[in-house]
Structure 1
Amino acid sequence: MRRAGLLLALPLAACVSAGPRAPAPAAAEVVAPPGWRSGTGRGATVDADWWTRFGDPALSALVARALANNVDVAVAAARVEEAHAAEALARAQLSPQVGGTLPETQGQTLSPLGTPSRAIGAQPGVTASFDLDLFGRLRQASRAARAQLLATEAARDTVRLATATSTASGYVTLRALDQRLQIARDTLAARGEALRIARRRFETGYSSRLELRQAQAEYAATEQLVPTAQLAIARQENALSLLVGDTPGPIARGLPLNRLTVPDIPAGLPADLLRRRPDLFQAEQTLVAADRSLDSQRATFLPNLALTGSAGLVLSTALGNPVGVFSLGASILAPIFDGGRLAAQEDAATARRNQAAFAYRRTALSAFRDVDDALAGVKRTREQAAALAGQVAAARGALQNATNRYRAGYSAYIEQLDAQRSLLTAELSLVQAENDRLTNAIALYGALGGGWQRP
């Protein structure tokens, strides 16, 4: 880029980590990332091997299906084809235009004796025109189309990246819902056993009707958790089916939630990983395209020189031999008075260029925030899950003690009821924390534009 403005250069030497925040990028000139999309070429931002680190083949297969069959990915690929055609059209404006003609004429002629006769003739020829593009109007337009093509390819990769992360997050959420359903069923079985004991104690006169009603109410409260979880599972399966391009239906499962592993995250991740983000490259190329369009618009103020030529033959029944004809010409077109149309178009192009510059800066700042949020989320949810695991173990032991005391007649049923409620709440919270930990790791994958290398 030749112009400097309120743009952003990513600090390659900086590091982002879960500790101190990265400093806010300073205003500087835009520098194109030369190493973006290095590796396998187009679409390399979605690393299929990375998903195997979760240890679940069903997750990897689901992401692969989504990338192959997702409708949004197909639409983005079609937009790339359209951008290729637009770039080829802009390039074609730099080449000479050649065409052919074959007009036919009929008429009457007079012989020296005054006798009229009909003559039939034709004048085949070739015409050519070429715009010299002295001041780069067409060249800048072609470069703008090229930058727009790169931006469209980056937009396609952005869709692919979002599809992969959404599919993986959806699968993790589905496994969390499965575990919630299993917890609800296990708790319902335990409440059923408690209800059976409470009913028997009431019938034999060892407890009051209050304990029986409490057991019945607690059983009904747990029973409604099962259809609620089943409804959430059905909706999540339908959402995943849409992502993978299928009609609503069941989704194949793999490992349970508590057996999925989070990929190891290095202590410090280099900030230049952000340059793999396709949305950042898309914003940059959009800025480049706007800048080239501005140059092309400014060139319309200058004179334009075009060369034209034609050559052909005159064939007629009135001529003994064909006659060759040719012409050469040049035209200069320069604006003299247009009522301010060209100036208004330049102002509009300048405004679009400035909008693209601020959009690029916003995208870069958002990228830093996404990484910082995901890193903090992975770290804090891991700590939360460890604490909740201890709470679940303690609540399970307290329930065992409360059950023994109740059956031995040393305590009221309310103690066992409180212990059951505490255990259910802790187990559901632990499932949510594990879900958040895995989804934050997936979010970090997307924030870095396609994950990171094994440490």
Structure 2
Amino acid sequence: MIRRSALLAALLLAGCTLPGKRAPAPDAAAVAPPPAWRTALGPGAPIRADWWQGFGDPQLTALVERALANNVDVLTAAARVEEARAAEALARAQLLPQIGGTVPETQGQTLTAFGTTSRAIGAQPGVTASYDLDLFGRLRQASRAARAQLLATEAARDTVRLATAAAAASGYITLRALDQRLAISQATLAARQDALRIARRRFEAGYSSRLEYRQAQGEYAATQQLVPAAQLAITRQENALSLLTGDTPRDIARGLALDRIAAPAIPDGLPADLLRRRPDLYQAEQTLVAADRTLDSQRAAMLPNLSLTGSAGLVLSTALAQPQAIFSLGASILAPLFDGGRLRAQERAATARRDQAAFAYRRTALTAFREVEDALAGVRRTREQARALEDQVAAVRGALRNATNRYRAGYSGYLEQLDAQRNLLTAELALVQTESDRLTAHVALYQAMGGGWSPGEVQAVTERR
């Protein structure tokens, strides 16, 4: 058996060079949040893995599940996982011996002592085997790199699934908000139509000027154009959701109204370690691992490679009285002597890719912290904004009733009622948008936190701290 140290010494004497000192990974590979970042768990329901059910709308749940089952991007990501799984199996197969069989047949003529010829038919069935000893771990590191790449591809698939679920949930919320905008526009249009009728009667009776009548006509037309605009937006949103679920354009089933969709409870704090469950962060981590293993494999390619080959078989022929057994066994050493700097350049390229993966991991981690903070702020601030808008709508609605009564009794002009109608329409549309933003902020929070976790997972991470 050839000793590794003796082999290295012999190859060094022959002129082979070993790779230099490996460049360390950049410090960007390690990213830690601030010490006080989201460490204490407060009251509130923990986030669930099936977070979309927390909104309490069965149609929203059905839409998300349909998107996860039929979305084209999700299916494509699953196919990429199968490709990565095959690549990982191929890398593992390189570590095993390669065995093959041959059955060549030969035909010829032989000349006898009496000058006659006879045909001789022969065959040499046999088995060949080859095995790479992989002294310096080139194949092992390549197999580990393929395994890490498989894990990264699976995480990429989970990232696509999470983004698809979030897009379906937020798209449904947007659709219900558009339905609410359409209902408000239609109700306002009915009120403007009634105001236009009263203005026309007052103008015809001589109780008001033509100006008031023209103003009522203009406001009615301005409100009338809001209806087809809302209907167009609804159609486009339904088409977008149909594409998301892998269907042709169709009507989307509705469930609860926008103001009845529940906002799931959010814990006051979550351990920062839970962010490691984000699929994009895990993908970046495994991509870094794969790049590091590829660097090790590339460095091992600069070292000698020892391969064993062998074959065995039988010689069968009509010219032989008995079959003859044959076999061979050998070893070969392949070492780079001069390659024009190709291996060195490949090593530097692998080192640069490893560093790029480390910086990408840092960027993904910092982005995760930012997205969680943005989503938490969005949930909190939109809730405060919605409460203020609810008070505004109630106040403006009361002002409109007073202005309408005064106008019909002849105590005030139409302009006072018109201003109250405009203010109410603006406040109602703003409230619908804020309610939509508030629910969408919950969706963004679940997406930022990797899709949520069960209570047991939250407790397990907390206990490890």
**With structure 2 as the length reference, what TM-score do the two structures score?**
0.89
Three-state SS of the structure 2 residue aligned to 1:16 is coil
Cα deviation, residue 17, structure 1: 8.8
Q: Does residue 29 of structure 2 align to residue 7 of structure 1?
A: yes
Which whole-Å CA distance do the structure 2 matches of 1:263 and 1:15 have between them?
A: 22
Cα deviation, residue 272, structure 1: 1.7
Three-state SS of the structure 2 residue aligned to 1:266 is coil
Alignment-derived partner of residue 125 in structure 2? 124
Deviates more, 1:253-262 or 1:266-275: 266-275
Alignment-derived partner of residue 292 in structure 2? 291
Which whole-Å CA distance do the structure 1 matches of 2:364 and 2:243 have between them?
A: 28
Alignment-derived partner of residue 233 in structure 1? 234
Which whole-Å CA distance do the structure 1 matches of 2:148 and 2:39 have between them?
A: 33
The amino acid that maps onto 2:37 is C
Which whole-Å CA distance do the structure 1 matches of 2:131 and 2:454 have between them?
A: 52
Cα deviation, residue 380, structure 1: 0.5
Cα deviation, residue 404, structure 1: 1.1
Cα deviation, residue 322, structure 1: 0.8
Alignment match of 1:16 (pick from 20, 38, 41): 38
Cα deviations by residue, 1:357-409 (Å, 9 ceiling, x for unpaired): 11000000000010000000111100110111111011101111111111111
Cα deviation, residue 202, structure 1: 0.5
Change (3 A) 1:77 1:46: farther
Cα deviations by residue, 1:229-272 (Å, 9 ceiling, x for unpaired): 00000000000111111110100000100111111112212212
**1:12·1:270 contact (CA, 8 Å) conserved in 2?**
no
Cα deviation, residue 12, structure 1: 9.5
1:114-263 equivalences in 2 (<5 Å): 114-263=115-264
Cα deviations by residue, 1:402-448 (Å, 9 ceiling, x for unpaired): 11111111111111001100000000000000000000000000000
Q: Does residue 69 of structure 2 align to residue 47 of structure 1?
A: no
Alignment-derived partner of residue 445 in structure 2? 444
Which whole-Å CA distance do the structure 1 matches of 2:153 and 2:409 have between them?
A: 72
Change (3 A) 1:153 1:46: farther
1:271-350 equivalences in 2 (<5 Å): 271-350=272-351
Cα deviation, residue 46, structure 1: 8.7
**2:48·2:454 contact (CA, 8 Å) conserved in 1?**
no
Q: Does residue 421 of structure 2 align to residue 390 of structure 1?
A: no
**2:48·2:453 contact (CA, 8 Å) conserved in 1?**
no
Cα deviation, residue 345, structure 1: 1.0
1:27-38 equivalences in 2 (<5 Å): none
**1:17·1:375 contact (CA, 8 Å) conserved in 2?**
no
Q: Does residue 98 of structure 2 align to residue 97 of structure 1?
A: yes
The amino acid that maps onto 1:364 is A
**1:10·1:272 contact (CA, 8 Å) conserved in 2?**
no
Three-state SS of the structure 2 residue aligned to 1:252 is coil
Three-state SS of the structure 1 residue aligned to 2:368 is helix
1:54-93 equivalences in 2 (<5 Å): 54-93=55-94
Gaps of 5+ in 1: 19-44
Alignment-derived partner of residue 112 in structure 2? 111
The amino acid that maps onto 2:86 is A
Which whole-Å CA distance do the structure 1 matches of 2:75 and 2:32 have between them?
A: 31
Which whole-Å CA distance do the structure 2 matches of 1:366 and 1:16 have between them?
A: 16
Three-state SS of the structure 2 residue aligned to 1:128 is strand
Cα deviation, residue 452, structure 1: 4.9
**2:84·2:153 contact (CA, 8 Å) conserved in 1?**
yes
Change (3 A) 1:325 1:452: closer
**1:180·1:431 contact (CA, 8 Å) conserved in 2?**
yes
Which whole-Å CA distance do the structure 1 matches of 2:166 and 2:48 have between them?
A: 9
Deviates more, 1:268-277 or 1:408-417: 268-277
Deviates more, 1:136-145 or 1:255-264: 255-264
Which whole-Å CA distance do the structure 2 matches of 1:112 and 1:233 have between them?
A: 100
Alignment-derived partner of residue 421 in structure 1? 422
The amino acid that maps onto 2:272 is A
Which whole-Å CA distance do the structure 1 matches of 2:292 and 2:444 have between them?
A: 33
Deviates more, 1:114-123 or 1:253-262: 114-123
**2:309·2:331 contact (CA, 8 Å) conserved in 1?**
yes
**2:95·2:139 contact (CA, 8 Å) conserved in 1?**
yes
Change (3 A) 1:12 1:105: farther
The amino acid that maps onto 1:255 is L
Three-state SS of the structure 2 residue aligned to 1:269 is coil
**1:11·1:272 contact (CA, 8 Å) conserved in 2?**
no
Cα RMSD of the aligned pairs, angstroms, is 1.8
**1:127·1:308 contact (CA, 8 Å) conserved in 2?**
yes
**1:46·1:161 contact (CA, 8 Å) conserved in 2?**
no
Which whole-Å CA distance do the structure 1 matches of 2:379 and 2:404 have between them?
A: 37
Which whole-Å CA distance do the structure 2 matches of 1:322 and 1:14 have between them?
A: 81
Deviates more, 1:444-453 or 1:192-201: 444-453
Which whole-Å CA distance do the structure 2 matches of 1:325 and 1:384 have between them?
A: 88
Cα deviations by residue, 1:286-323 (Å, 9 ceiling, x for unpaired): 00000000000000111000000000111111111111
Alignment-derived partner of residue 270 in structure 2? 269
**1:188·1:219 contact (CA, 8 Å) conserved in 2?**
yes
Cα deviations by residue, 1:300-356 (Å, 9 ceiling, x for unpaired): 111000000000111111111111110000000000001111111111111111111
Which whole-Å CA distance do the structure 1 matches of 2:392 and 2:454 have between them?
A: 35
The amino acid that maps onto 1:121 is G
Cα deviation, residue 10, structure 1: 4.0
Question: Identity of aligned pairs, percent?
Answer: 78
Which whole-Å CA distance do the structure 2 matches of 1:111 and 1:10 have between them?
A: 88
The amino acid that maps onto 2:146 is A
Which whole-Å CA distance do the structure 2 matches of 1:120 and 1:364 have between them?
A: 71
Which whole-Å CA distance do the structure 2 matches of 1:413 and 1:146 have between them?
A: 75
Three-state SS of the structure 1 residue aligned to 2:399 is helix
Cα deviation, residue 13, structure 1: 6.3
Which whole-Å CA distance do the structure 2 matches of 1:14 and 1:272 have between them?
A: 12
Alignment-derived partner of residue 361 in structure 1? 362
